[in-house]
Amino acid sequence: MVHRRLCTLILGAILGLGLSVTAAEAQQQMAPPTVTVSRPVKKQVVDWQEYSGQFAPVDDVALRARVSGYLTEIHFADGQMVNKGDLLFVIDPRPYEIALAAARASVTQAEASVELAKRQLARGGALRKNDFLAQSDYDIRFQQERAAEAQLDGARAAVRDAELNLAFTRITAPVSGRIGAHQVSIGNLISGGGNNGAQGTQLSTIVSLDPIYFTFDMSEADYLVLQRAAAAGRLPPVRNGKLKVDLRLDDETGWKHPGRLDFVDNQIDRGAGTIRGRAVLNNPDFAITPGGFGYVRVPASAPYEALLVPEAAVMTDQSRKIVLTVADDGTVRAKPIVPGPVMDGMQVVRSGLAPDDKVIVNGLMRARPGGKVTPQMATN
- What the chain holds in terms of domains, given with CATH numbers, is 34-43+304-377 (2.40.420.20), 49-58+210-299 (2.40.30.170), 93-168 (1.10.287.470)
Q: How far is CA 254 from CA 29, 152, 251, 286, 347, in A?
A: 47, 68, 10, 19, 18
For 355-368, how does the pLDDT look when each residue is reduced to its tens digit (9 = 90+)?
A: 888 888 888 888 88
Phi/psi for 262 (5° steps) reads -110, -5
Q: How confident is the model at residue 102 (pLDDT cuts 50, 70, 90)?
A: very high
For 320-330, how does the pLDDT look when each residue is reduced to its tens digit (9 = 90+)?
A: 889 888 888 88
209 touches 178 (CB < 8 A): yes
> What is the C-alpha to C-alpha distance for residues 358 and 324, in angstroms, rounded to an integer?
8
53 touches 170 (CB < 8 A): no
175 touches 57 (CB < 8 A): no
Q: Which residues contact 187 (CB under 8 A, 6 or more apart)?
A: 70, 71
Fill in the DSSP letter of residue 154: H
339 touches 346 (CB < 8 A): no
User: What would you report as the CA-atom Rg of the chain, rounded to the nearest whole angstrom?
Assistant: 43
Residue 45 bridge partners (DSSP): 304
Q: How confident is the model at residue 17 (pLDDT cuts 50, 70, 90)?
A: very low
Q: Identify the pLDDT of residue 125.
A: 76
Q: How confident is the model at residue 19 (pLDDT cuts 50, 70, 90)?
A: very low
**110, 104, 142, 106: which is closest to 123 by C-alpha?**
142
For 240-272, how does the pLDDT look when each residue is reduced to its tens digit (9 = 90+)?
A: 888 999 999 988 888 999 999 999 999 999 999
